């Protein structure tokens, strides 16, 4: 059944708003995009001389189908009219110029979702792009999304956590590049002739994050025999509550990258560093969100308690055993959090059962955040290499380095006549291997984690039914 939403129209009229994915043009658009994707090279171009390449006329016809579908769907989304007009021009130019490396800068600049953050607002997005943690190639993708911007979140952003570029979003429909582990829509992934001076938005799919969190957490809790308090168990079973927790977590995490005592700017400036420094940065942002969540809970925001346990469980259960063991900085951050809580008797693994001291967890977790913040503050006065070693010392206080590590042997084991970036080559791909606890957990959770590929809130509802 077509979902009918309500929005205020002209002169008090209330026109129906049809879901884009229920319109007959959406499957046409999706099919045309899926036809084009396999023809594209890694950079997004189409080489008509390559084996298996289409006739140019077939590619042109497919692009015309995309254009026609966009033009048919655009009236449903008047707030995106300027973007869709620029998109059509970019698509036609790409075809007219022979399907070389695509350049969608004009349509990227016209797409401004952060300028109209309205809860429930739909967007139809089509770009040649790679999908982070998904498809590494710049293929054409189409995604229909919906903004998540409830009043309570808007008020917190306005009064406490200013982040004017952040967009919380959920999936409505997508092409193959998002049938993956990707849970973000970032402008820097889009094929353009030159990067804009600054980006004006960034989107994170809180529904995929929440659905993935719920499935992995439920499995981990069962495997580890962890007893959950009633309110936390209810939260894990509630997709809506988890989405609210993740959109708040993401908003605070995202802004933290540019707030605090920062000896370096790890993501705005492309600089080569040992991966544990990126792991500490990501963990710092998560633990800052955790600390703010403790304050929010005290101020009466129920979402604050939910964020605390979303951070703890996702970091401790999913992150360490997800992905390859090659410079896995998110996995490292999860290992560090668990080890820190274990060393401080907040988590105990006894008789093959995990227990958590729920009363002490907030205080001790905030202690790790304070240690990382002190590392950063001290780092402002340190040379780069000294700061890297200080970061290594913090991590290795709680995690055992690989026995073959040169960095673990200290500065005397490295050729310090080389510039710091060269010494990154001496970092092992897995400098801090999994503990025996996590090796065992990984074997039991890997199939659950693999099953979350392409997951959405809708797919979790189908499984529950």
Give the chain as a 3 state SS string.
CCCEEECCCHHHCCCEEECHHHCCHHHHHHHHHHHHHHHECCCCCECCCCCCCCCHHHHHHHHHHHHHHHHHHHHHCHHHHHHHHHHHHHHHHHHHCCCCCCCCHHHHHHCCHHHHCCCCCEEEEEEEECCCCCCCCCEEEEEEEEEECCHHHHHHHHHCCCCCCEEEEEEEEECHHHCCCCCEECHHHECCCCCCCCCCCEEEEHHHHHHHHHHHHHHHHHHHCCCCCHHHHHHHCCHHHHHHHHHHHHHHHHHHCCCCCCCCCCCCCCCCCCHHHHHHHHHHHHHHHHHHHHHHHHCCCHHHHHHHHHHHHHHHHHHHHCCCCCCCHHHHHHHHHHHHHHHCCCEEEECCEEEECCCCHHHHHHHHHHHHHHHHHHHCCCCHHHHHHHHHHHHHHHCCCCCCCCHHHCHHHCCCCCCHHHHHHHCCCCCCCCCHHHHHHHHHHHHHHHCCCCCCHHHHHHHHC
- Does 377 lie in the same domain as 443? yes
- Does 195 lie in the same domain as 283? no
- Does 253 lie in the same domain as 196? no
- Does 350 lie in the same domain as 232? yes
For residue 15, pLDDT beyond 70: no
Of 170, 200, 230, the position where a domain reaches its end is 200
For residue 1, pLDDT beyond 50: no
For 425-459, what is each residue's pLDDT tens digit? 999 999 999 999 999 999 999 999 999 999 998 76
Look at residue 461 in the predicted model and tell me its pLDDT.
59
For residue 321, pLDDT beyond 90: yes
- Does 452 lie in the same domain as 308? yes
**Structural domain contains residue 157:** yes
Q: Residue 102 and residue 190: Cα distance in Å, rounded?
A: 9
**Structural domain contains residue 188:** yes
**Structural domain contains residue 7:** no
Per-residue pLDDT band at 14 (split at 50, 70, 90): very low
- Does 289 lie in the same domain as 184? no
For residue 2, pLDDT beyond 50: no
For 252-279, what is each residue's pLDDT tens digit? 999 999 999 998 765 555 678 999 999 9
- Does 344 lie in the same domain as 396? yes
- Does 178 lie in the same domain as 273? no
For 152-184, what is each residue's pLDDT tens digit? 999 999 999 999 999 999 999 999 999 999 999
For residue 9, pLDDT beyond 90: no
The least confident of 74-88, 199-213, 448-462 is: 448-462
Number of domains in the chain: 2
Per-residue pLDDT band at 237 (split at 50, 70, 90): very high
pTM above 0.85, yes or no: yes
Look at residue 272 in the predicted model and tell me its pLDDT.
85
- State the residue range of the domain holding 453: 220-464
- Does 238 lie in the same domain as 151? no
**Structural domain contains residue 118:** yes
**Structural domain contains residue 23:** yes
Look at residue 52 in the predicted model and tell me its pLDDT.
87
- Does 279 lie in the same domain as 162? no
Look at residue 102 in the predicted model and tell me its pLDDT.
98
Of 200, 235, 270, the position where a domain reaches its end is 200
For residue 3, pLDDT beyond 50: no
């Amino acid at each position: 059944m077509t979902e009918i939403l309500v929005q205020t129209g002209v002169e008090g009229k209330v026109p129906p708003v049809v879901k884009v994915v229920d319109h007959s043009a959406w499957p046409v658009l999706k099919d045309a995009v899926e036809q084009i994707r396999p023809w594209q090279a890694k950079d997004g171009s189409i080489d008509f001389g390559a084996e298996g390449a289409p006739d140019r006329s077939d590619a042109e016809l497919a692009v015309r189908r995309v254009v026609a579908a966009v033009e048919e769907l655009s009236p449903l989304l008047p707030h995106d009219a300027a973007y869709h007009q620029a998109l059509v021009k970019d698509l036609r130019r790409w075809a007219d110029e022979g399907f070389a490396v695509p350049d969608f800068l004009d349509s990227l600049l016209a797409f401004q979702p952060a300028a109209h953050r309205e809860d429930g607002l739909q967007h139809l997005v089509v770009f040649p792009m790679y999908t982070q943690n998904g498809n590494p190639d710049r293929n054409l993708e189409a995604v229909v999304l919906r903004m998540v911007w409830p009043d309570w979140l808007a008020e917190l952003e306005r009064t406490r956590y200013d982040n004017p570029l952040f967009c919380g979003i959920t999936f409505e429909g997508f092409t193959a590049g998002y049938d993956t582990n990707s849970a973000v829509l970032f402008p820097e992934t889009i094929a353009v002739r030159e990067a804009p001076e600054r980006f004006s938005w960034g989107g994170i799919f809180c529904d995929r994050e929440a659905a993935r969190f719920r499935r992995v957490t439920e499995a981990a809790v069962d495997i580890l025999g962890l007893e959950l308090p009633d309110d936390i168990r209810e939260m894990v079973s509630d997709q809506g509550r988890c989405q609210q927790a993740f959109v708040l977590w993401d908003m605070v995490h995202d802004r933290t990258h540019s707030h605090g005592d920062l000896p370096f700017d790890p993501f705005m400036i492309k600089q080569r560093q040992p991966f544990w420094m990126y792991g500490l940065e990501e963990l710092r942002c998560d633990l800052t969100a955790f600390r703010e969540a403790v304050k929010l809970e005290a101020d009466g925001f129920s979402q604050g308690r939910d964020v605390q346990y979303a951070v703890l469980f996702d970091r401790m259960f999913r992150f360490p055993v997800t992905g390859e063991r090659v410079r896995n900085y998110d996995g490292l951050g999860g290992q560090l959090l668990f080890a820190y809580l274990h060393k401080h008797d907040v988590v105990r693994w006894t008789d093959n059962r995990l227990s958590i001291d729920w009363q002490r967890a907030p205080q001790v977790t905030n202690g790790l955040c304070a240690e990382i913040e002190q590392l950063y503050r001290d780092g402002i006065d340190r040379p780069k290499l000294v700061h890297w070693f200080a970061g290594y010392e913090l991590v290795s206080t709680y995690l055992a380095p690989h026995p073959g590590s040169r960095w673990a042997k200290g500065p005397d084991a490295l050729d310090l006549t080389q510039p710091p970036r060269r010494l990154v080559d001496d970092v092992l791909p897995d400098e801090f291997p999994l503990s025996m606890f996590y090796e065992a957990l990984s074997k039991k959770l890997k199939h659950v984690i693999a099953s979350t590929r392409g997951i959405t809130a809708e797919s979790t509802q189908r499984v529950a039914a």
